[in-house]
Amino acid sequence: MSRAQRLLDLIQILRGHRMPVTGAVLADQLGISVRTLYRDIATLQAQGARIDGEPGLGYRLRPGFMLPPLMFSEEELEALMLGVRWVAERGDPRLGEAGRNALAKIAAVLPTDVRDALDASSLLVGPGEPPIPACVDPAAIREAIRAEAKLRVVYRDLQGTDSTRTIWPFALGYFDNVRVVAAWCELREDFRHFRLDRFSALERLGERYPKRRHALLKAWRERQGVRAQSVFAPARI
Single-letter code of the amino acid located at 148: E
**The length of the chain, given as a count of residues:** 237
What is the rounded CA–CA span in Å between residue 178 and residue 39? 45
**What pLDDT is recorded for position 117?**
74
Please name which of 213, 162, 171, 161 lies closest in space to residue 192, comparing C-alpha atoms.
171
**What pLDDT is recorded for position 130?**
77
Domains of the chain, residue spans:
3-61, 68-119, 138-236
CB atoms within 10 A of CB 123: 11
Residue pLDDT tens, the chain, 237 long: 677 778 878 888 888 887 889 999 999 999 999 999 999 999 888 877 888 887 778 898 887 655 554 556 678 788 888 898 888 888 888 888 888 888 887 777 776 766 777 777 788 888 877 778 888 999 999 999 999 999 999 999 888 899 999 999 999 998 888 899 999 999 999 999 999 999 999 999 989 999 999 999 999 999 887 544 444 544 344
**What pLDDT is recorded for position 135?**
87
Whether the predicted model's global pTM rises above the 0.85 cut: no
- Please return the burial class of 30, using the count of CB atoms within 10 Å of its CB with bins 0-12, 13-18 and 19+: middle
**What pLDDT is recorded for position 48?**
77
Please name which of 205, 136, 201, 131 lies closest in space to residue 162, comparing C-alpha atoms.
201
Distances (CA, A) of 143 to 32, 40, 81: 24, 27, 25
**What pLDDT is recorded for position 78?**
83
Pick the CATH number of 3-61 from 3.90.1150.10, 1.10.20.10, 1.10.10.10, 1.10.4030.10: 1.10.10.10
**What pLDDT is recorded for position 224?**
82
